[in-house]
Chains A and B, each alone.
Chain A
Amino acid sequence: MSGGEFHGKPLLQVEHLRKYYPFTKGVLLAKTLGQVKAVDDVSFAIEAGETLGLVGESGCGKTTTSKLILNLEEPSDGRVLLHGKPIHGLAGAALREYRARVQAVFQDPWSSLNPRMTIGRTIAESLIVTGWGNRAAIAERVGELLDQVGLRRDQITQYPHEFSGGQRQRIALASALASQPQLIVLDEPVSALDVSIRAQMMNLLKDIQARSNVAYLLVAHDLATVRHMADYTAVMYLGKIVEYGPTQALFDNVTHPYTKALFSAVLPPRPDRREEEIVLAGEVPSPLNPPSGCRFHTRCPFAMAQCSREEPPLRELAPGHLAACHLLTA
């Protein structure tokens, strides 16, 4: 950890981030018909050792946001800063350094590992790239990482197909941890796992965070998972953050109508505890032509005339708890 010198700045800052994909017709002399606004003015920060949960349904822009943070996509506008320094435009050694600092674990443990490499080799790969040291030092570090994620050291020579889904996800985590990152982007890390394995993985992620002070950006659709893992929660809808706050405060006082609908779609933990359900009509509109004003107004049960005209800004309801809804001022 290279903490001290950057004191005062959050680990990661995302400022007015936008990513528009042009929608074109034709191949040569392609005409741009419009822009898919995948991420549209998103800002947040993550401190060292913290977890931010990014929640939303498919197409809300949560995966694009994580790709921008991983420096796999260039933003159309806005910045991502690590320790106060912009990350886009980095090249060479500086980019490699960034890749070592910010790692990722993806949803599908079956496709994120190379089937032809032993897991020892897979984990060693990132150590070799970052110049960890000689052969012996790398072997020792791989062993340590296997211990950390709860795998046996003698499994080092096995191939991914010899492991179950939960174990593969541990391997993916071990290789993400190899370069001692300060931030790991976890993109639906447990949603492909079985219930009992999911709990093991969630506990493991929390243990590792407590030990190494790594920060997580947890991209997830399951609110209960976010509640267990995240210190802060951001809810996204059609490329925008509609509600943001400390997880506890947000879960105790759900404010935005979309967040309310998401919460009411959580299935009951027991058959008799059925709360009033808000069933949203229709589906998420296309981000190609997002609705005017508040993007949620077409499905919102409380929509007013103002909502289709003006876009509501994020307003602070309580310290750190923000929501973007005209109802808050009405």
Chain B
Amino acid sequence: MTDANGDIVLDVRELQTHFFLRRGIVKAVDGVSFSLRRGEVLGLVGESGCGKSLTALSLMRLLPKGGARTIHGQVLLNGDDILTRTPREMREIRGREISMILQDPQTSLNPVFTIGDQLREAIFRRSRARHRDLMREAIDALRRVDISAPEQRIGQFPHQMSGGMKQRVVGAIAISGHPQVLIADEPTTALDVTIQLQYLKLLKRLQQETGMAILFITHDFGVVARMCDRVAVMYAGRIVECGPVAEVFDNPSHPYTQALIASVPKMTGSTARLYTIEGQPPSLMDLPVGCRFAARCPHAEERCESAYPPSFTVGAAHTADCWRMTAR
């Protein structure tokens, strides 16, 4: 990806976030690069512990306490590296330029304040508007996320709402500052399937209305197929494959992506044994020098164990980090 392209709103380069623990260094995010264009939805897929959530928290500069530090890389938001900003400047950037929705709406909302209070706080931080205007804007914000009777709902506490409704409120707060980039970290994982579909449709509509770019973090290829324009697959702290969604589904090139797609139970075809990946991901404290998937890969060769493969181009804007791609 080149930065000559003015369309790029978020450009992440060689991001490394490690946990420095007494037991050793956990390389949770270890050289992640990707870019996000205006109005685009990029899916970041991977299994637990692959570093996808920590990547998101690194972008927000909201690393968990306890030794996590971003030690290398750049996060260019409109060409401006936000990793060099002060915490005070970051507070201004968060919510207005880059915003985030977390998996569990229960933990994102404060149980002792009404949702109106929480929405108004978010809007006030951005606009410093007067109370009456805040109230009107908060009601509008709820209406935009399809909450019926927002005038009544605004005085309610989070526990009076269902999970799907709470997640809508979280969405309303996240986009109240008109961010250019929204990071959605598994926003529908805690929701029921019919509510999940409602929420995905809502996010898509909001994205089309506002033109914001979304980094959609998920473990579910179905969500990727439904929501995303491009997809990046993460394994053990690195992106191993990245490309347009249709390309990656038609022509998955990294053996890990192939295995992931094959191991999902399908709604059509045979119900015989599912394809499985043997073994476990490597320990992030003791990563192999070569390809991190080599120990589980059915095609592993000698060079896979001795050196990490570079990103090979396998199609239009489609790359994969796998030595086998050299043969093409």
Q: Give me the interface of A with B, judged by CB distance under 8 Å.
A: 57-58, 164-165, 194-200, 202-203, 206, 221-225, 227-228, 251, 261-272, 274, 277, 279-280, 283-284
Contact = CB atoms under 8 A, between A and B. Distances in A.
Given A194-B48, A195-B260, A267-B223, A277 B271 contact: no
A224 B265 contact: yes
Contact of B271 (A194, A222, A228): A228
Given A195-B219, A267-B226, A269-B266, A283 B274 contact: no
Contacts, number: 108
B192 A271 contact: no
Interface in B247-275: 249, 259-260, 263-268, 271, 273-275
Contacts of A261: 194
27 contacts: A58-B192, A165-B48, A195-B221, A195-B260, A199-B265, A199-B275, A199-B276, A199-B277, A202-B265, A202-B274, A206-B273, A221-B193, A224-B267, A225-B265, A227-B265, A228-B265, A251-B267, A265-B194, A267-B196, A267-B226, A268-B226, A271-B226, A272-B246, A279-B197, A280-B194, A283-B165, A284-B192
Max chain A C-beta neighbours (<10 A), residue from B268, B273, B274: B274
B222 interface: yes
B232 to A, nearest CB: 15
Interface in B5-52: 47-48
A270 B265 contact: no
B158 interface: no
A134 to B, nearest CB: 36
B278 to A, nearest CB: 8
B222 A268 contact: yes
A196 B276 contact: yes
A300 B268 CA distance: 26
A267 B277 CA distance: 23
Contact of B193 (A57, A203, A206, A269): A57
A196 B265 CA distance: 10
B162 interface: yes
A251 B267 CA distance: 9
Contacts of B249: 270-271
A283 B198 CA distance: 10
Contacts of B276: 196, 199-200, 203
B287 interface: no
Given A164-B280, A196-B263, A279-B197, A267 B274 contact: no
A121 B165 CA distance: 44
A223 B274 contact: no
Task: For the complex of A and B, list the 6 residue pairs with the smallest distance between their C-beta atoms, beginning with the closest.
Answer: A267-B222, A199-B274, A199-B263, A194-B47, A57-B192, A224-B265
B107 to A, nearest CB: 17
Interface string B181-217: 0000000000011111110010000000000000000
B47 A270 contact: no
A209 to B, nearest CB: 13
Contacts of A196: 47, 259-260, 263, 276-277
B245 interface: yes
Contact of A269 (B197, B260, B267): B267
A194 B236 CA distance: 14
Contact of B246 (A197, A222, A262, A271): A271
B280 A266 contact: no
B201 A283 contact: no
Contacts of B274: 199, 202-203, 228
Listed residue (A225, A272, A283) with the most chain B CB atoms within 10 angstroms of its CB? A283
Given A203-B274, A221-B193, A271-B224, 10 more contacts: A57-B194, A165-B48, A194-B48, A199-B264, A202-B265, A203-B273, A263-B267, A267-B197, A269-B266, A269-B267
A279 B192 contact: no
A200 to B, nearest CB: 5
Nearest to A221: B193
B188 to A, nearest CB: 10
Given A221-B192, A224-B264, A265-B193, A270 B271 contact: no
A251 B266 CA distance: 12
Nearest to B268: A269
Contacts of A270: 225, 246, 249
A109 to B, nearest CB: 13
A262 B225 contact: no
Nearest to B227: A267
A165 B194 CA distance: 27
A284 B165 CA distance: 12
